[in-house]
Amino acid sequence: MLSGATALGRGAPAGGGATSPPPWPALREELQIHPTGANRDGSPAWHVCDPVRNLFFRIGWLEFEILLRWDMADAARIAQEIARDTTLAPDADDVARFQGFLEQHQLLRTVRRKPPMPAWRWLLNNYLFVRIPLVRPARLLEKLLPWVGWLYSRWFVALTVLAAGAGVLLAARQWDTVAANLRGAISWEGVLGFAGALIVSKLLHEMGHALMSTRHGVRVGHMGVALLVMWPMAYTDTGESWKLARSRHRLAIASAGICAELVLAAWSTLLWAFMPDGDLRNALFFLATTAWVLTLAVNASPFMRFDGYYMLTDALDFPGLHERAGQQAKRALRRWLLGFNDPSPETLTPGFRRFLIAFAFATWLYRLVLFIGIAVIVYHAFFKALGVFLFMVEMGVFVVRPVMAELRVWHARRDEIRPGRRIAAALLLALGAAVLLVPWHGGISAPGVIRAGVEQPVFSPYAARMAAMEASDGVAVAAGQSLVTLEAPGQSEEREKARVMSSAYARAARGAMGLEERPAAQQVLAEQQASRWDTERRARDAELLRLRLVAAHGGTMRDVDPLLQSGTWVAPSQLMAMVVDGRRWRVEALVPEHDRQRLAAGSRAVIIVKGRTRKLEGQVRAIDNSPVRRLPHLLLAQDHGGPIALNPTAQKKDLRPAEAWFRVTVEGEDDTPVDVVREVRAHFEGTRESLARRWINAATSVLIEQSGF
């Protein structure tokens, strides 16, 4: 039954004849009312509690006075009575609107019950967030609270602040170690370590809420696991904290989880800085990084109903912050775009109203990004066809449906729009249609690398010994100039042997006619052997001539191996130097398939070199017909600071991209030579197309590719 500061009416007499108004509804008997802190304008406030559903509703002075006179069963009489006994001046419509509020939230006995929801619809609405209660810890928390009372002392808070400052300072001085640990955590062991740290951190988080609630006399109904997009996470039921009259006590409960994680992060960071390398230090690192990052990036955000939202709500003492801010933002949006002059839903100061409007727009933008991210996660979490379906459901329910609901309001009130606003809206729609439908977009931007257009690697043709390096690093060389002289003792010996054998057989052929037995046959045989050995000698000479390495074109010697000395043996695979002509350059840019179809050989390209201010102009020389299986250079890999993600299933050294990229080769000349390989951004002018066509093609491609149809 209703209890608290006063008792409220239970019911009303039924109506009479056919023309009488409908029966006055009765309040539900189990409802309770509790006084709470004053509103922002200083007026008193109360909470109406629904213990069956564990819900509460905050009402003001007028609503409280209406509830006191509910048994009068007449809206006009209730309004007159309130106007006579108080300084309020309501009318019958105010009472009727409050009756509609009570009926909407099922606080009346005569409210029509909703039909049971089908199982498929319940699953569609609730699969993103499902709570599973596991324990009822109220008694255990009461016994545990005296043992942890020191955690709330001032001296411990001061020590924790000092530990946090010292730990962060020491970690900053060991930033190289921190970065190395983060890179080393990208492994199965690291994933397991972070998962374990996450479990510990979140359990302490929920324990912080539970202990603080118990400390302020709020019963913790249950604790358990919530499934957020099928991802398990702990939760604590602190729903009865609304009973606290002081907002700072509610703020303490809302912030207790974040404070618990920050305490864990502070002491873990400090201990990590002093611990020797080992498993314990690794565990502290996982605890510290998990607590710092997730607490500040997720839990502290006020744009979703996490701790940050309730902390901001209690700090402002403004319940229903998201809904009330959204109402102010919708009112402002309708006034700006359509000229509607709707009255404000509530009395607020101009400054606070502007804050609510800005907060609502920031919340909408944050949720748009978040819901798109959730839709992508859902898409990847299931098999292709179901993933596409759930992606469309997510976008429809959380993005399209709210927008369509607001547009329906605009359409229903279209007669209220002034002619000038209609013309402005039509012009705005026409401009939007032009931006989407007119094929003005022709630019293509692609990542790539630039290198010298002419490069001659200097290799030995076979295993040989260094005789002389005739050009040093950075020296300009001309075409045909000798670069390296090598020698091959084995080849020289074989050449000398062939020369000697050829000479010997030639002498034998000349003296064969003086033989007594078969002189002609002996001469022919000797001449054949002399010719064979002479051919081998010439072949050996040709092989030895290959050891004199010359420049095929003019350029500059680069990357000369400093370990090469006279007498050093080199292998055929060993790069000894490079001859580079940097005045001519070549860019290997990578474009997706859609952009490749819009490019043509011979088109103009503008190259922006990373680290340079002057642009380069070149021409497209070639466009690959098949995607690259290996990136042209590791500078493009995301793991090395580049823009292209690597395939997670392949080894990092393979540089295999995660998506299909096509190589576009651009060549040009410039007075400033290209001396090293650099990352660039290539800009092309392709076939023009509209944004709408581009988006439709991309969406259609994804649907066809991923649905499996």
Segment 199-210, tens digit of pLDDT: 888 888 888 888
Q: Give yes or no: residues 67 and 36 share one domain.
A: yes
Q: Is the pLDDT of residue 106 over 60?
A: yes
Q: Is the pLDDT of residue 187 over 70?
A: no
Q: Give yes or no: residues 221 and 178 share one domain.
A: yes
Which helix or strand (DSSP H or E) is residue 30 part of?
Answer: none
Average pLDDT over residues 490-498: 81
Q: Give the per-residue pLDDT at 706.
A: 54
Q: Give the per-residue pLDDT at 3.
A: 38
The tokens for 492 are 């020289």
Q: Give the per-residue pLDDT at 192.
A: 73
Average pLDDT over residues 477-502: 82
DSSP annotation of 599: -
Of the two residues 670 and 263, the one the predictor is more confident about is 263
pLDDT band at 230 (very low <50, low <70, confident <90, very high): low
Q: Give yes or no: residues 528 and 461 share one domain.
A: yes
- Structural domain includes residue 550: yes
- Least confident stretch, 165-169, 532-536, 688-692: 688-692
Average pLDDT over residues 539-554: 80
pLDDT band at 162 (very low <50, low <70, confident <90, very high): very high
Q: Give the per-residue pLDDT at 705.
A: 56
Q: Is the pLDDT of residue 358 over 90?
A: yes
CATH number, domain of 590, equals 2.40.30.170
- What whole-number distance in Å separates Cα of residue 288 and Cα of residue 309? 24
- What whole-number distance in Å separates Cα of residue 460 and Cα of residue 452? 22
Q: Give yes or no: residues 2 and 69 share one domain.
A: yes
- Least confident stretch, 158-167, 371-380, 665-674: 371-380
Spell 90-128 as b/e; 16+ CB within 10 A means b.
Answer: beeebbeebbeebeeebbbeeeeeeeeeeeeeeeeeeeb
| Length in residues, the chain | 709
Q: Give yes or no: residues 27 and 135 share one domain.
A: no
Q: Is the pLDDT of residue 590 over 90?
A: yes
Could you tell me if residue 186 is left (phi over 0), alpha (psi between -120 and 50 degrees) or otherwise beta? Answer: beta
Tell me the percentage of the chain whose pLDDT exceeds 90. 5
- Structural domain includes residue 338: no
Q: Give yes or no: residues 137 and 256 share one domain.
A: yes
Q: Give the per-residue pLDDT at 347.
A: 76
pLDDT band at 119 (very low <50, low <70, confident <90, very high): low
Please write the tens of the pLDDT for every residue from 402-457.
888 888 888 888 888 888 877 887 888 888 888 777 777 678 889 999 888 777 88
Q: Which residue has 């395939």 as its token pair?
A: 647
Sign of CA dihedral 79, 80, 86, 90: positive
The tokens for 108 are 């009346």
pLDDT band at 234 (very low <50, low <70, confident <90, very high): confident
Say if residue 550 is exposed, middle or buried (CB neighbours under 10 Å; 0-12, 13-18, 19+).
middle
pLDDT band at 381 (very low <50, low <70, confident <90, very high): low
Q: Give the per-residue pLDDT at 8.
A: 44
- Structural domain includes residue 172: yes
Q: Give yes or no: residues 595 and 522 share one domain.
A: no
- What whole-number distance in Å separates Cα of residue 503 and Cα of residue 580? 45
- Structural domain includes residue 56: yes
482 bridge partner residues: 550
- What whole-number distance in Å separates Cα of residue 231 and Cα of residue 212? 26
Please write the tens of the pLDDT for every residue from 2-25.
434 344 443 444 444 444 566 888
| Cα-based angle 493, 496, 502 (whole degrees, multiple of 5) | 140
Q: Give yes or no: residues 149 and 97 share one domain.
A: no
CB 90 within 8 A of CB 71: no
Tell me the percentage of the chain whose pLDDT exceeds 70. 85
Range of the structural domain that residue 692 is part of: 444-450+579-707
Please write the tens of the pLDDT for every residue from 640-686.
888 888 887 788 888 888 888 999 999 888 877 777 788 899 998 88
Nearest in space to 109 (alpha carbons), one of 16, 30, 14, 46: 30
Q: Give the per-residue pLDDT at 9.
A: 43
CB 268 within 8 A of CB 291: yes
pLDDT band at 159 (very low <50, low <70, confident <90, very high): very high
Q: Is the pLDDT of residue 189 over 90?
A: no
- Of 536, 570, 604, the one marking the end of a domain is 570
- Structural domain includes residue 439: no
Average pLDDT over residues 300-314: 81
Average pLDDT over residues 169-173: 84
CB 456 within 8 A of CB 579: yes
Q: Give the per-residue pLDDT at 13.
A: 42
Number of domains within the chain? 4
Q: Give yes or no: residues 481 and 564 share one domain.
A: yes
Average pLDDT over residues 176-197: 68
Q: Give the per-residue pLDDT at 185.
A: 59
Sign of CA dihedral 66, 71, 73, 74: negative
- Of 570, 604, 637, the one marking the end of a domain is 570
Q: Give the per-residue pLDDT at 223.
A: 86
- Structural domain includes residue 624: yes
- Mean pLDDT over each residue of the chain, to the nearest integer: 79
CB 190 within 8 A of CB 180: no
Q: Is the pLDDT of residue 128 over 90?
A: no
- What whole-number distance in Å separates Cα of residue 393 and Cα of residue 387? 10
Q: Give yes or no: residues 105 and 128 share one domain.
A: no
- Of 244, 265, 286, the one marking the end of a domain is 265
Q: Give the per-residue pLDDT at 190.
A: 63
- What whole-number distance in Å separates Cα of residue 543 and Cα of residue 538? 9
Q: Which residue has 């002093």 as its token pair?
A: 274
- What whole-number distance in Å separates Cα of residue 166 and Cα of residue 280? 20
- What whole-number distance in Å separates Cα of residue 246 and Cα of residue 259? 20
- Structural domain includes residue 416: no
- Structural domain includes residue 85: yes
Q: Give yes or no: residues 551 and 585 share one domain.
A: no
Which helix or strand (DSSP H or E) is residue 559 part of?
Answer: none
Q: Give yes or no: residues 151 and 252 share one domain.
A: yes
Average pLDDT over residues 607-633: 88
Q: Give the per-residue pLDDT at 387.
A: 59
Q: Give the per-residue pLDDT at 290.
A: 75
- Residue 379: CA atoms inside 13 Å, Cβ hemisphere, count? 17
- Least confident stretch, 53-57, 131-135, 340-344: 53-57
